Amino acid sequence: MNIKKLPENFEGKGEVKGFEFRQVKRSEKTLLYEVYSANFKHFEVFAIKTTPVCLDFENRVYSETDFKEIYPKSKDFGSWAFTTRKLLRAVDLFESLNV
């Protein structure tokens, strides 16, 4: 099984357009990103989840061997993803998800 990891640094697209993401910490189960917008900084912590790579979007054909990590959508925050303004709180959340 091949898994494409989320990048360490990237610019947001879609619902997170205008945000810059920088990976602060990573484990086998959890990711912590520092997120910047024009004049605001916060941290996002989430469990690592994967999805099959789409081979043919129109016919909904997905790979059985190739997967990619996914960044949480806004609806996922509060369940398997969390946001905070404080780095120490983000690290605490990281550790609690890492169990």
DSSP bridge partners of 82 = 45
Closest CA to 39 of 13, 16, 14, 19: 19
Q: What is the pLDDT of residue 38?
A: 84
Q: For residue range 3-55, what is the model confidence (pLDDT) as tens digits?
A: 999 999 999 988 888 999 999 999 999 999 999 988 899 999 999 999 999 99
Residue type, 69: E
Tokens 């910047």 -> residue: 36
Whether the predicted model's global pTM rises above the 0.95 cut: no
